Chains A and B, each alone.
Chain A
């Protein structure tokens, strides 16, 4: 029996005993630095166990084991150094520690610096939604289309009011007059041109139906849109 085989079980035994003794010592330690040093001793015991095999392959395994162990040792010691620095700076601040302090502490307020009015979507979304609704209402025509167009206008105006971007009183007067005038003209188109045209020229019914439908849509849309500008005025 060669020397390696003879020493194998004894070396393994020594390695494990060293490891267990180091664990016991770690459990008795109060200082973090001593804990770290004793942990390195456990890694040395690991190297003893690998070295006990005593072949070429074991020799090749010791080096990566050692490197990994050292890397972990360096990382942990760096963490320990940093934590101790941080603890020292915390102590030098002379903070008074109280029970449930983290629930009572008044921290620095960051939230006031966040400006929620700067959100892009508040400005871009109402225009888009209003535009889509007006387009869809124009496509539908008739009373339903008018209602949908009106809801688009209403939504746009109300959202402008909500942003605080309301138009001035003079503008509202202008637009009020314009919209009501437009509504009256469309009423005339609907009743006088479209409806009367049905009875006067029944052979061109499609033409007059289209006029009546579009005029009705525009009339209802503009009429209900007035409610939005009313709301802004109040």
Chain B
């Protein structure tokens, strides 16, 4: 049985012929692209939520809010994250995809670390360590695929069978470390109880879309 790119990603609509880095459009990638751009727009337009922490007795209720300075950097990071997610949906180059993942990782770190609390900064630091470590499997796997097949283009790799199981496993491990675990670190820092909801949700959205897209790529190349 031979899988081709149409059967998994839907109808193939064409590609943007800009040199080596080819963006291609399928049903799957277009839907992912539109979702990511839409939520980027939502993040740009919405104001962050404020929270009123009520406490028992007369311990005093506390109003949490995002200061303007913090809002600006977090919104910028969330928008960068959204745009990188959107174009990671379209890219047809494995190494380009890995670079997008790395930039999303940095943007996630920025979103998390804008909160000036020690626990949150600690979680951002450990997430950064994990993201840096997982550049080894991510870029290493794309290098190994390049060494074995001589190309990084998903469109080329989808044509013939290359027996890439081991490389694909390493690549998926790298993806998990780079972006997939970001929501866990956001949860660890109790970011959901921190104010400023839409920016945190961008971490989740990008992570979700990237995981789905990676599965699609891993099924397409073989």
Q: Which residues of A come within 8 Å of B, CB atoms?
A: 8, 12, 15-16, 19, 23, 26, 32, 35-36, 39-40, 42-43, 45-46, 49-50, 52-53, 55, 57-58, 61, 64-65, 68-69, 71-73, 75-76, 79-80, 82-83, 86-87, 90, 106-111, 114
Contacts and interface: CB of A to CB of B under 8 A. Distances in A.
Contact of B140 (A23, A26, A46, A111): A46
A110 B61 CA distance: 7
Interface in B138-152: 139-140, 142-144, 146-147, 152
Contact of A43 (B116, B122, B132, B152): B132
13 contacts: A15-B136, A43-B132, A50-B140, A53-B147, A58-B146, A72-B102, A79-B128, A82-B116, A83-B122, A87-B118, A107-B59, A108-B62, A111-B63
A68 B62 contact: no
Contact of A46 (B106, B131, B136, B146): B136
Contacts of A32: 125
Contact of B121 (A16, A26, A86, A114): A86
Nearest to A86: B118
Question: Which of A15, A55, A76, A86 counts the most B-chain CB atoms under 10 A from its CB?
Answer: A76
B207 interface: no
Given A50-B140, A75-B106, A79-B113, A109 B132 contact: no
Given A75-B106, A109-B61, A42 B121 contact: no
Contacts of B139: 46, 49-50, 61, 65
Given A53-B147, A86-B118, A68 B103 contact: yes
Contacts of A73: 132
Given A32-B125, A79-B109, A79-B125, A110 B133 contact: no
Nearest to A4: B147
Contacts of B124: 79
Given A53-B147, A68-B102, A107-B59, A83 B133 contact: no
Contact of B143 (A36, A61, A109): A61
Contacts, number: 122
Interface of B: 52, 59-63, 95, 99, 102-103, 105-106, 109-110, 113, 116-118, 121-122, 124-125, 128-129, 131-133, 135-136, 139-140, 142-144, 146-147, 152
Given A53-B143, A61-B143, A64-B99, A72 B61 contact: no
A189 B16 CA distance: 83
Contacts of B131: 72
Nearest to B105: A72
Given A45-B136, A72-B102, 11 more contacts: A15-B136, A46-B139, A53-B143, A57-B152, A61-B139, A61-B146, A68-B135, A76-B132, A79-B113, A79-B125, A79-B128
Given A61-B95, A79-B125, A111-B61, A53 B102 contact: no
A23 B143 CA distance: 21
A53 B61 CA distance: 61
Nearest to B95: A61
B54 to A, nearest CB: 9
Contacts of B113: 75, 79, 82
A72 B128 contact: yes
A76 to B, nearest CB: 3
B58 to A, nearest CB: 9
B106 A71 contact: yes
Contacts of A108: 60, 62
